[in-house]
């Protein structure tokens, strides 16, 4: 599901407020980031029992346009949920 305008604004505001570096730590590119248009989920792995279950964690994803290195940010921390 695409991000809502409220979610986009909250993420942008959070990035500015926390002075997130605009430099890609992998390739050195600056100011060249794409925000994934949706929240990403994760799987919780139980390796001992060889099971996977959906995690309650959700993430915003920010990807470098040059090398596609991706940073993940906790949606709950940003959206206050």
pLDDT value of residue 55: 84
The pLDDT score that the predictor gives to residue 1 is 83
pTM value is 0.82
Rounded to whole angstroms, how far apart are CA atoms 49 and 69?
32
Provide the pLDDT for residue 54.
87
Report mean pLDDT in 10-residue bins for the chain, 81 residues: 94 96 94 93 92 91 97 95 71
DSSP H helices in 1-80: 5-17, 75-79
pLDDT of residue 57: 87
Decide the pairing of beta strands 33-35 and 70-74: unpaired
């Amino acid at each position: 599901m695409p991000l809502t305008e409220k979610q986009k604004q909250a993420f942008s505001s959070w990035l500015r407020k926390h002075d997130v570096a605009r430099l890609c730590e992998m390739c050195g590119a600056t100011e060249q980031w794409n925000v994934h248009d949706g929240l990403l989920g994760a799987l919780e792995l139980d390796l001992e029992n060889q099971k996977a279950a959906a995690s309650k964690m959700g993430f915003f994803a920010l990807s470098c346009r040059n090398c596609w290195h991706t940073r993940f940010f906790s949606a709950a921390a940003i959206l206050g949920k």
